[in-house]
């Protein structure tokens, strides 16, 4: 939930010091990207498993393995490209060639803006997918009310502009799922920080 509540790092309300060097900034960037992408990958795997739950076990295993491998290569490959894009931009800017030099300078100047946009977009996507998993999971467990309520609310929202019914219906469902993700995360976050983490730390201390 650090993405939902930026600056919140523990019960004491301390915030981490800002990176003081390019190396620390890159390490922080990679760490944040890996954490966010790990959660998104877990959500994608959960969606994939739900889609093939009625298939034979060997088919489920094969599909999950292929999706996991493909998404790992795709997502972390994209992370590697993003993290190293500014280095590539600097190299191009120092090349001396006219067009390449301009392209390098554009990459260097544009990456901070791109990363600022990417962070909230990734957060919203993570909350949307997570909330959607909760709604669909409740439906699969026999609790159909939330999914029906979301569907009807999205249909009412889509009725505002019939010409864009499909897009608005999807946007309404995604928005409600994201809000649900925020609410559930806001409830789970204190439990993890103030109950589960202290318990794990206490058991680990006893084990030592």
DSSP 116-128: HHHHHHHHHHHHH
| d(C-alpha 26, C-alpha 73), whole Å | 20
Q: What is the mean pLDDT of residues 88-98?
A: 77
| d(C-alpha 174, C-alpha 127), whole Å | 9
Q: In Å, how far are 9, 42, 59, 119, 121 from 71, measured between CA atoms?
A: 29, 10, 18, 19, 18
What is the reported pLDDT for 12?
44
Domain edges within the chain = 22-207
> Which structure tokens are listed for 125?
């996507």
Q: What is the largest CA-CA distance in the chain?
A: 65
Instruction: Please write the tens of the pLDDT for every residue from 161-180.
Output: 888 888 889 888 888 988 88
- 3-state class (DSSP) for residue 44: helix
Helix%, strand%, coil% for the chain, nearest 5:
80, 0, 20
Q: What is the mean pLDDT of residues 51-69?
A: 84
Cβ neighbours of 189 (radius 10 Å): 15
What is the reported pLDDT for 51?
74
- Higher-pLDDT residue of 131, 23: 131
What is the reported pLDDT for 117?
81
What is the reported pLDDT for 152?
93
What is the reported pLDDT for 9?
45
Task: With a cut of 80, say whether residue 194 has pLDDT above it.
Answer: yes
Spatial neighbors of 140 by CB under 8 A, at least 6 apart, are: 50
pLDDT band per the 50, 70, 90 thresholds, residue 200? confident
Instruction: Please write the tens of the pLDDT for every residue from 8-53.
Output: 444 444 444 444 566 676 677 667 667 667 777 777 777 777 777 7
| d(C-alpha 176, C-alpha 7), whole Å | 25
Place of tokens 């990456």: 111
pLDDT band per the 50, 70, 90 thresholds, residue 86? confident
Q: What is the mean pLDDT of residues 144-151?
A: 90
């Amino acid at each position: 939930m650090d993405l939902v509540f930026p600056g919140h790092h523990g019960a004491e309300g301390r915030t981490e010091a800002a990176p003081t060097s390019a190396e620390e900034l890159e390490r922080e960037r990679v760490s944040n990207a890996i954490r966010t992408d790990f959660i998104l990958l877990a959500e994608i795997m959960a969606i994939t498993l739900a889609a093939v739950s009625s298939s034979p076990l060997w088919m489920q295993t094969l599909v999950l393995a292929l999706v996991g491998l493909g998404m790992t290569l795709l997502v972390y490959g994209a992370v590697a490209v993003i993290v190293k894009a500014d280095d590539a931009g600097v190299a191009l800017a120092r090349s001396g060639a006219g067009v390449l030099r301009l392209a390098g300078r554009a990459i260097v100047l544009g990456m901070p803006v791109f990363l600022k946009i990417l962070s909230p977009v990734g957060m919203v996507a993570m909350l949307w997918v997570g909330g959607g998993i909760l709604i669909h999971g409740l439906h699969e467990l026999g609790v159909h009310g939330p999914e029906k309520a979301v569907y009807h609310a999205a249909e009412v929202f889509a009725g505002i502009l019939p010409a864009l019914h499909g897009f608005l219906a999807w946007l309404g469902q995604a928005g409600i799922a994201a809000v649900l993700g925020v609410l559930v995360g806001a409830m789970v976050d204190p439990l993890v920080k103030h109950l589960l983490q202290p318990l794990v730390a206490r058991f680990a201390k006893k084990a030592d």
